[in-house]
Amino acid sequence: MGRNLAVVAGVALLLAACTGRDEQRAQPRPSPPNRLTIDSPQVRVCLANLGQLARFSALPDRDYGGGCYSFASVKLLDAGVPVSNLGAMNCSLAATFSAWVRNGVMPAARLYLRSEIAKVETFGTYSCRNVNGALAGRLSEHATANAVDVSGFLLADGRQITLKKDWNSPDADVRSFLLVIRTSACRRFKTVLSPDYNSLHADHFHLDMGRGPFCR
C-alpha cells in the first residue's frame, strides 16, 4: 500500500510539473514597459505638436512579433522639405526629426552652403533587426520605429551632399555644415552615430530616441 501511494504521489508531481510547463508556455509575452499607443493621451499631445512642424499620417499600431513593433507611429509626408524612404516613426522620433530639419539642418545649409535644402535623403526608419544587422544581440531601435538613418541632402541649387562622399570633403564649408548639423542632432536625439563612430556608419547619421545620451 505504501509503495502504491508513493507511485501515485510521484505521478501527481510529474503531472503538476508538466502542467506548470504548459501554462508557462501558454503565457503571452508581456508588453514592453511604457509602450504608448496611437490613442494614448501623451501621444495625442505629441501628434498635435507634430502638426505644427510637419505633414503626416497617423499609422495603426502594429506588433510584428519577436520584439518588433511600431506603436504610436506616423508616416511623415513632409518635414518642412520632402524626405525620402521614410516608413513608420514613433511620434517622439518624428517630432524630434522634424524640429532638427527645420531648426538645425535648414538654417545651417543657408549659412554654410548658401542654398536651401530641397530634400533630405534617408536609408529608412522601421526595420525588424538587431543592432548593425547582426544575427544575435539586442534589437536595434529601428525594430521599434525609434530610429532614422540620414544619408544626405539635395540642395536647391542642384548640389548633392552625402555623408559617404562629403564627411571628409576638401570643401571646408561642406565639412562645417555636416559637423554643425551633427552637433544640432546631438542636442535633440538620445543617440547620434556618425562616420566618426565606425565604418558601419560611414555613409549616414543614425539618429534615435532610445538609450543615451551618446554622440559620436
Read off the CATH number of the domain in which 209 is found: 3.30.1380
Q: Is residue 28 part of a domain?
A: no
pLDDT above 50 (res 29): no
Q: Is residue 5 part of a domain?
A: no
Query: What is the model's pTM?
Result: 0.82
Nearest to 124 by CA among 94, 91, 86: 86
pLDDT above 80 (res 17): no
Q: Is residue 8 part of a domain?
A: no
**Which stretches within 106-153 are classed as H helix?**
106-108
Domain housing 93: 41-215
Q: Mean pLDDT throughout 162-180?
A: 98
pLDDT above 90 (res 182): yes
pLDDT above 80 (res 74): yes
Q: Is residue 61 part of a domain?
A: yes
Q: Mean pLDDT throughout 123-142?
A: 85
Structure confidence at residue 81 (pLDDT): 97
pLDDT above 80 (res 116): yes
Q: Is residue 118 part of a domain?
A: yes
Question: Picking from 103-112, 136-145, 197-206, which range would have the lowest pLDDT averaged per residue?
Answer: 136-145
Q: Is residue 36 part of a domain?
A: no
- The average confidence (pLDDT) of the chain is 86
Q: Is residue 9 part of a domain?
A: no
Q: Give the model confidence (pLDDT) of 76-113 as tens digits.
A: 999 999 999 999 999 999 999 999 999 999 999 999 99
Alpha-carbon gap, residue 121 to 136, rounded angstroms: 29
Structure confidence at residue 131 (pLDDT): 82
Q: Mean pLDDT throughout 107-131?
A: 96
Domain count, the chain: 1
Q: Is residue 76 part of a domain?
A: yes
